[in-house]
Structure 1
Amino acid sequence: MARKADTYGEFWPYYLREHALAPTRYFHYAGTVLATSALIFALATQTWWALILFPLFGYGFAWVSHAFIERNKPATFDHPLWSLISDYRMTFLAFTGQLRRHLVEAGVIDHPQARPAQ
């Protein structure tokens, strides 16, 4: 990022550009779903040791994808809260078929007729 984002509105397009490759996004979706599932399981069953799975799944999948697929630094290091929010936002938009427009607006996809990005 050339300069630090001052608002979440500035951060969101940057976040999407840092997740330009579909496999990176797929790893994030998997990590987000698994982390959330682990959190719900731990809370519902009061299996407190399972809480450790939340950050392991969430960060583990994301960081592996940035290291070996996208080959960039995770946005979590500069904006931890906005990155967490964006992981959930990106996953929700992908699962509901709404992510494409955001990727186009962020410049990840050149035009709406491009191959599906999700």
Structure 2
Amino acid sequence: MEKRFRTFREFYPYYLAEHANPVCRRLHFVGSTLVLLVLVIALATRRWELLWLLPVLGYGFAWVGHYFFEHNRPATFTYPLFSLMGDWVMFRDMLVGRLRW
């Protein structure tokens, strides 16, 4: 039986263990960067149709990393909110050098 996490603090070490492969982490970083870039472009140009790209970019890169490099099932399916939070905390941790690429 899979463990149920009550807090994000409990969840994040599990999340990082599910993202141990450096290529998977890099793909997450690329996807998150593209999400931010497209969001800024959509807001600046008021081209709201670009917003549909956000989940495609964010999840697309991440899922490629999980299926082809990490060989595991994305945490999104079991822990959607904690997983989304984990994506952005991991992105920040990689950006500031707290986490290896």
TM range (shorter): over 0.9
Residues 1-118 of structure 1 aligned to structure 2 (within 5 Å): 2-99=2-99, 117-118=100-101
In the alignment, the residues of structure 2 paired with residue 22 and residue 35 of structure 1 have an alpha-carbon distance, to the nearest angstrom, of 20
How many Å apart are 1:2 and its aligned residue?
Answer: 3.0
User: Could you list the runs of 5+ residues in structure 1 that have no partner in the other structure?
Assistant: 100-116
Opposite residue 70 of structure 2, the aligned amino acid is E
Report percent identity of matched pairs. 47
Note the aligned Cα RMSD (angstroms).
Answer: 1.2
Could you list the runs of 4 or more consecutive aligned residues of structure 1 that deviate by over 3 angstroms after TM superposition? none
Q: Please state how far the C-alpha of 1:35 moved relative to its aligned partner.
A: 0.9
Q: 2:85 and 2:40 mapped to 1: Cα distance? A: 17
Superposition TM-score, scaled by structure 1 size: 0.81
- Single out whichever of 83-92 and 17-26 deviates more from structure 2: 83-92
Q: Distance in 2 between matches of 1:70 and 1:92?
A: 21
What CA distance in whole angstroms lies between the structure 1 residues aligned with 2:39 and 2:96?
A: 22
Consecutive unaligned residues in structure 2, runs of 5 or more: none
Larger CA Rg, structure 1 vs 2: 1
1:95 positional shift: 1.1
Alpha-carbon distance in structure 2 between the residues aligned to 1:98 and 1:3: 26
Amino acid at match of 1:68: F
Higher helix share: 2
